[in-house]
């Protein structure tokens, strides 16, 4: 029996055909398939890199087309992710209201929607931006869908470490959109996002680890103690902050970015070590408060990339 077959009765809302649902609700459901809140974070890392690549204000039409292409590409990847994970989504509390689970969108519609977005986004990038950006976006989509969702997610506790590579690609796409090439600056920012992803996501995984355990997804907090996870978070955090400071000695950024990276990075390390200390005292009845670092991680990456966009105007 599959996970979907063993779901509680009525979870998928299959009593009413998706095509008979109200039009507005259906539109909202298709938008939800793209996971807009996640894409917002991806665009936060795309646009500032375009400012850095231009060393000023890039062509606004180019920014708009890059953001549109990025949204469609990431949205297609997210829709295909929901199609593949619809069995476990039906059993997890945090995903129980996704459109495929509620029956607002059928699996066939979701699959067609995801593939269509992948094709349209690739052509949009190639024909209006450049083909380097198009292949990078398509590579990110395929990596997220095939490597992370289909291969890594249900097989290894390192799933989010390597699967997070797809979420690092927008910095390369933003740079290549402006320059039609790559250099060390986007590679460094790629590594910042690579080392950011695990300590960003593991606190959330600690919060909902029962969900992942229920469906057999071996997220690190499911297979390791909170003390072990917190130690890994601290290690990744130190490497992330160190890598973020490489841009300045290589000549890509100046005093403003460096100041923001030091202050924001220092606060991150404070929160990471605080989480580690709480994990050590958890057995004595202390609260973990793991979501503090999760929420700060979003603020941190927003501040860092805003600094990247502003820095060229202050040099």
Q: Which residue has the tokens 């917190």?
A: 230
Residue 56: Cβ within 10 Å count: 9
Give residue 23's pLDDT: 84
Which CATH code is given to the segment(s) 183-315? Answer: 1.20.120
Closest residue by Cα to residue 110 from 11, 32, 24, 38 = 32
Query: Domain 24-180: what homologous superfamily?
Result: UbiA prenyltransferase (1.10.357.140)
Give residue 1's pLDDT: 36
CA dist 101 and 82 (Å) reads 9
CA dist 147 and 136 (Å) reads 15
Give residue 282's pLDDT: 67
CA dist 274 and 280 (Å) reads 10
CA dist 217 and 226 (Å) reads 17
CA dist 73 and 71 (Å) reads 6
Profile the chain (315 residues) by mean pLDDT over runs of 10 residues: 41 56 89 92 94 96 97 97 96 93 96 98 98 98 97 96 95 98 97 98 94 95 95 98 97 97 98 94 73 95 97 91
Q: Which residue has the tokens 């990078």?
A: 136
The H or E element containing residue 217 is none
CA 167 to chain centre: 5
* Whether this model's pTM surpasses 0.85: yes
Report the SS3 class of residue 285: coil
CA dist 113 and 111 (Å) reads 5
Q: Where are the domains of the chain?
A: 24-180, 183-315
**Ordered alpha helix ranges (H), the chain:** 23-33, 36-54, 60-84, 86-89, 99-102, 107-124, 131-142, 159-163, 165-179, 184-207, 209-215, 220-223, 226-244, 255-281, 291-310
Question: Could you tell me if 309 and 48 are in contact, meaning their C-beta atoms sit under 8 angstroms apart?
Answer: yes
CA dist 169 and 66 (Å) reads 13
Give residue 6's pLDDT: 45
């Amino acid at each position: 029996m599959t996970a979907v077959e063993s779901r509680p009765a009525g979870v998928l809302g299959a009593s009413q055909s998706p095509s008979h649902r109200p039009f507005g609700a259906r539109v909202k459901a298709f938008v939800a398939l793209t996971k807009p809140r996640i894409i917002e974070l991806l665009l936060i890392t795309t646009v500032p890199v375009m400012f850095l690549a231009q060393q000023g204000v890039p062509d606004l039409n180019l920014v708009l087309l890059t953001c549109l292409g990025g949204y469609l590409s990431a949205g297609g990847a997210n829709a295909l992710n929901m199609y593949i994970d619809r069995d476990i989504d039906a059993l997890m509390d945090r995903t129980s209201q996704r459109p495929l689970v509620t029956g607002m969108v059928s699996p066939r519609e979701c699959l067609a929607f995801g593939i269509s977005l992948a094709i349209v986004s690739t052509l949009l990038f190639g024909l209006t931006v450049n083909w380097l950006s198009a292949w990078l976006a398509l590579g990110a989509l395929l990596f997220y869908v095939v490597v992370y969702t289909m291969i890594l997610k249900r097989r290894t506790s390192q799933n989010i470490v390597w699967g997070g590579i797809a979420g690092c690609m927008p910095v390369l796409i933003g740079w290549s959109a402006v320059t039609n090439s790559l250099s060390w600056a986007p590679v460094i920012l790629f590594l910042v996002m690579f080392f950011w992803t695990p300590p960003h996501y593991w606190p959330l995984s600690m919060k909902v680890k029962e969900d992942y355990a229920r469906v057999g997804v071996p997220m690190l907090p499911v297979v390791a103690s909170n003390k072990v996870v917190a130690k890994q978070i601290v290690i990744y955090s130190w490497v992330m902050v160190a890598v973020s400071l490489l841009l300045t000695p290589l000549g890509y950024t100046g005093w403003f970015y460096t100041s923001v990276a030091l202050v924001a990075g220092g606060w991150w390390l404070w929160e990471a070590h605080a989480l580690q200390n709480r994990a050590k005292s958890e057995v004595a009845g202390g609260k973990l408060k793991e979501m503090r670092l999760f929420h700060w991680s979003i603020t941190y990456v927003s501040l860092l990339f805003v600094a990247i966009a502003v820095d060229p105007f202050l040099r």
